[in-house]
Every structure is written in structure tokens, then in C-alpha cells.
Chain A
Amino acid sequence: MPPAAVKTTLLLLLPALLAVGAFLLLPLGFILFESVYLEGRGFTLYMYLSYLSDPKFHTIFLRTLKFGLIVTGVSAILCYPASYAISRTDQHRKSLLMSIVILPLMTSPVARTYAWMVILGRFGLINQTLKSAGLIAEPLRLLYTEGAVIVGLLQLFLPLMVLNLVSAMENISPELEEAAQSLGANRWVTFFRVVIPLSADGLVMGSVLVFTGSITAYVTPAILGGTKILTLATLLQQEAVVFMNWGGATVIAVVMTVLTILLYLGVRTLRPRIA
């Protein structure tokens, strides 16, 4: 690139770089600093050692990872057939289906989550239906359970998985499937040995987005899980504004950031091999 072009590129990048630096990197740096610096003690890992050895933290950390894995796994299983169907319909229907898929992304997370409260409550839709069908005598406890949080997160992040899978599958030429079938593979074998490997890229990207989204979501676990089913995000809020334990809160923030970065790096190294 000639020097003038480099200059133009830098100039064009500058506003975005400044914004990211001032509003993202700088605060992140502060958090990192706060987590390793104690007044009177200087730089120390004390806060990490004391907080990360807390059994309460272990319970919540593992629960958060569990939510992330379940939501990612279930959404992959649910979205694969749906995305395949969407990618194989005509253009007109495809855009209709896609707009239905992204509809949940366009409603406020708070309103959406309160809707789940109405559905899952003791007098909610599910309990009323089961009761009038004679399947249960007493309403079931659905709210304030791990199941409620997982269902809420699934609804929240399914669209991300579908979007990624559909765009990956659109790039698979239908002729490849025809070729596979002409060589004697039935529809199942074609799906598992042609479509899935070729769409793995979309699956990986979708999984990363769903997983990081699930482990960092705040509103859904806060409302559907209550104060007992804590996740890292709700624990962070609790430490910061309820218990005034800013040291603990910064440690959680750093743990969550590191987790996300590790995941991203892991995927980046894995991706070329799959593709």
C-alpha cells in the first residue's frame, strides 16, 4: 500500500478506534486494574485468590457454564432442521420465515421475559392447560427454576443460531446434495455427511454467539431465576450494588471477559480445521 493510502486508512479508522478505546478498552483497563490493586497493599492477586476459592463462586460459575452448554446444545439441535428448511425454500417464503425468526430480537428483553412470567406462573398458560386437561391436580412450580432460565435464554438466542446456520447453508449448492444422492446416499446420509460438515462454520459461529450470550445474559436469569438461581451476571450485579463488594464484582467481570476471549481464540484456531 502506498503511504498516502495508509494515511487515509488510518484517518478513516480513527473515529471508530477512539470510540472503542475511550468507551470500551479504557473502562476494561480500569476494571482489570481495580481487580489487582488494593490500596495499601499495592499490586496483589489477593482478590482473585479469596474470591475464586469461595465455594459460592464455584457453584455459580459451574451453573453458568451449564446454562451456556445446555442452551447452545439445545439450540443447535432445534435450529439445524429449521435452518435447513428455511435455506431450501423459495426467496419469498424465506424472507417471511426469517422475519418471523428475528421477531424476538426486536422486542425488549424485559417485556419478553415478563411474558414468560405470565406463561410459566402458577396460574399461567402452561399450568392452566395441564390442569384443564386433567394431567396435574396442583399447579407445577415452573418459575424461579433452572428450567425457566434455560427456556428464557433459548428463546432469546435461537434467532442467532438460525441466522448463522441459514447463511452457512445458503452457500451449499443443492447440486452437491443431488450429487451425493446420485451416488447412492439416502437423504439422511446426505444431511449428515454433506450438509452438516459444510455448514459447520455457521454452527461454530452460532454456538459462540449463543454461548457467550447465555453466560452473560442478565435480565433473563434475574427475572426468571429470582435471587436463588444466580449466574455470573446476576452475581456481579449483586456484589456491585447490593453487597458493595466492588473487589468481588471486578473479579467476576474479569472472569467473564477472559472466558469470552478464550472461547473466541479457541474457535479461531479450530475454525480452519473444520472448514
Chain B
Amino acid sequence: MKKLMLIVLVLGLWCAGHLFASGAKEAPKTERAKSESQPAMQSYRGRTLSVSTWGFNMDLINKNITKPFEETYGVKIVYETGNNADRLTKLKARKDSPNVDVVHFAGNYIYLATKEGLLQPYDPDKIPSLKELYQWAKDPVGNRYGIGYAISTYAIAYRTDKVNPPITSWADLARPDLKGFVTLPDITTTFGPATVVLLAKAFGGSEENVEPAWQNLPQIAKNLVTVYRRSSELITLVQQGEVWVAPYTSFSWGNLLETKVPLKSVVPKEGTVGSQSMVAVVKGTKNADLAHLYINFILSHDVQKAQAMDLVDSPTNMTVKVPPEIGEKLAYGPEKLSNIIFLDEAKLAQVQESWVKRWQQIMAK
């Protein structure tokens, strides 16, 4: 009897699986029918675009970018996700036959990728949205290798119920009362090099003289629980109460607030460092047309606005207007934008390798 029931169950599951599978197969057909009514888009439909990106806030990105893009053009987007360094390694490994068409990187990684000859210049004629961008976002690294599609800023979040006195400077990360409850983003993340610069400033150095940072990092390393490589790791650490003080990237503020942990964000006295998230066309891609189509799409007013409203990214499209309660949580508005310090990404890319080595040396202890 039991055996019979099992067989029925398995058969039932198989049928259900089959139904769902065929349902999924039918979905693109209706999409196709829709795009056929738009003759200009015929050349794109049924094709696939491969995008390399961080993978944070993927649910919102799917809602704001993936789905509308796929519906408009009938092009399927597949993502390859990972942090900057991970994805640069992969890109390098497949230099001769890239399987990624568009890549999202932090500014200094766009430089590194350019130096390795992994990117190709974009064609401004194919990106009409470009003229709506702030001047500084149009070609931040020169030679049309990357476009800034979002700004993120770097600040410190701390537990108001655990940390007293409040955090006011990056030097506070070395405070003995915080031992075991501090985390830092890894040197290979977007703001990794900025950590070094800001610590240098906090301990009497500057962007040019970063030695004070290296002298104090071993002390700070003793305070660390762990070093995080992805923002999602940071959210977990904060949620589990393992971390009380954490430098974070502005795009994770929404997720940090969702942890319901009493948190406050502070801009330390060393100032706000900003970074542009950039997008670029991979050299040797067979889908350069789709890549431009995609870049134009994510720069467009509607997408930039949707991303801003969901606190995913701060816009670089000038035409985007958001209500004040949203604007205050973003790098948005003339006053905030004028206070942001942009570090010299080209210079950071040059010292990247030696900084990574020194950092690793300190953190391994």
C-alpha cells in the first residue's frame, strides 16, 4: 500500500513538474509576439545578453532592469555575479573568447580592466541617454571606457545601543571598547582603497601620505571580527549582532535598516568619499549592439528613477527628480554632491597591487 502511494506521489510530482516546465517554455512566445509588433526591435529578439555585476539587491534589479528590458526588447539577460576582483579574474581568464558582454565595476577596477585590455570604448551615438548625465559621469576614466551610472558613498554605521561615545572619526575603529565588534570591507571591494585613505587622514596623513593608515591598521585588525567581501555578508553580520561598527556603502543602507537593529549612519569628520559605479562594454563581445542597448537602458530616466526610489542606486541622470524623503537617503541633490570627495581612481589602480599585499599581510595575523 505504502509503495503504491509513493508511486502515485512520484507520478503526481512528475506531471506537475512537466506542466510547470511547459508553462515556462510558453512564456517567451507571448513576449515574442509582442516584440514582433515593434519592427525596429526584431533584430534583438530571442538573443541573450550576459552581464557581469555585483549581485547585491538582485530582486530589485530584476524588477527595475531585467524584467522591463526583457519585455521591451525580447532579449534575455543572464547575470554573472561576484565582487570586483572575482569578476576581473574571470574576465582575464576568458580574455580571448569572453562570455560576458557588459561589465559593472567600481572605478578603479575599470582602470585595471582597461590596463589589461579587457574593455572596448563605448559608442556615444548608440547611447542617447548619455546627454542626460552629469558631465562627470559621462567619461570618468577617459577614452570612453566607462560610464558612471550610479554614485555610492562610504560612511560608517554603528549600533546606537552598544557604542558610546558615538563614532565621529575613522580613528574610532581602533577604540579598545569596540574590540571584536568592528568589521571592514576587504581591500578588493569598491571602497577598499578608500578605507586606507580615510584612515590615513584620521591618523594625521593624507591621500598622498597613507603611511599613518598602515601603521594603525594592525591595531584596528585586532578589533575586527572578520573582513567582509560582499554587502550581503555585512547585513548578516549586523543582523546577528556580531558587528557593532561597520563602514558601509550607501546602497546597502536600505537593507541595513531592514535588520531592525538600532543603527545610526555617520559621516565621519574625514569627509564623504564617493565612488561611481561604472558600466563598460567587454572587448571582443559578439553582442556589442545589445551591450549598448543595455547601457542606454540603465542610464535612461525611468530606470534611474526606479532604482533611486528603491534606494538601490543614486542616479547620475540629471533629469531624475525624487521626493526629499528619498533624496536624503541617497547621494542626491547639489549640496550633497558638491561635498563628495572623489579619489583619484587612476592613482589607486596603480598602487592597488602593493596595497592588497600589505593589507593581506596585516589581516592574516
Contact = CB atoms under 8 A, between A and B. Distances in A.
Contacts of A243: 85, 188, 356, 360
B242 A144 contact: yes
B241 interface: yes
A226 B227 contact: yes
Contacts of A244: 85, 88-89, 92
Interface in A69-119: none
A226 B182 CA distance: 13
A241 B364 CA distance: 17
B186 interface: yes
Nearest to B364: A56
A131 interface: no
A226 B241 CA distance: 15
Interface in A212-251: 226-228, 230, 235, 240-244
3 tightest A-B CB contacts, nearest first: A226-B226, A56-B364, A122-B241
Contacts of A54: 361
Contacts of A242: 83, 85-86, 89, 186, 188, 229
A228 B85 contact: no
A226 B240 CA distance: 14
B54 to A, nearest CB: 14
Interface of B: 83, 85-86, 88-90, 92, 180, 186, 188, 224-229, 240-242, 356, 360-361, 363-365
A241 B240 contact: no
A228 B86 CA distance: 18
Nearest to B186: A227
B360 A141 contact: no
Nearest to A55: B361
A241 B93 CA distance: 10
Interface in A126-172: 139, 141, 143-144
A115 B360 CA distance: 29
A81 to B, nearest CB: 36
What is the interface residue range for chain A against chain B? 20 to 34
A92 to B, nearest CB: 22
Nearest to B362: A56
A242 B186 CA distance: 10
Contacts of B224: 228
Given A242-B89, A242-B186, 12 more contacts: A56-B361, A56-B364, A60-B364, A121-B241, A141-B242, A227-B186, A228-B226, A230-B364, A242-B83, A242-B229, A243-B360, A244-B88
Pick from A144, A226, A227, A241 the residue with the most CB of B within 10 Å.
Answer: A227
A218 B363 CA distance: 19
A35 to B, nearest CB: 18
Nearest to A143: B242
Nearest to A226: B226
Contacts of B92: 244
Given A227-B229, A242-B229, A121 B364 contact: no
Contacts of B229: 227, 242
A106 B86 CA distance: 31
B242 A121 contact: yes
A123 interface: yes
A181 interface: no
Nearest to A57: B364
24 contacts: A56-B360, A56-B364, A59-B365, A60-B364, A121-B240, A122-B240, A123-B241, A141-B180, A143-B240, A143-B242, A144-B226, A227-B227, A227-B229, A227-B363, A228-B225, A228-B227, A240-B89, A241-B86, A242-B89, A242-B188, A243-B356, A243-B360, A244-B85, A244-B92
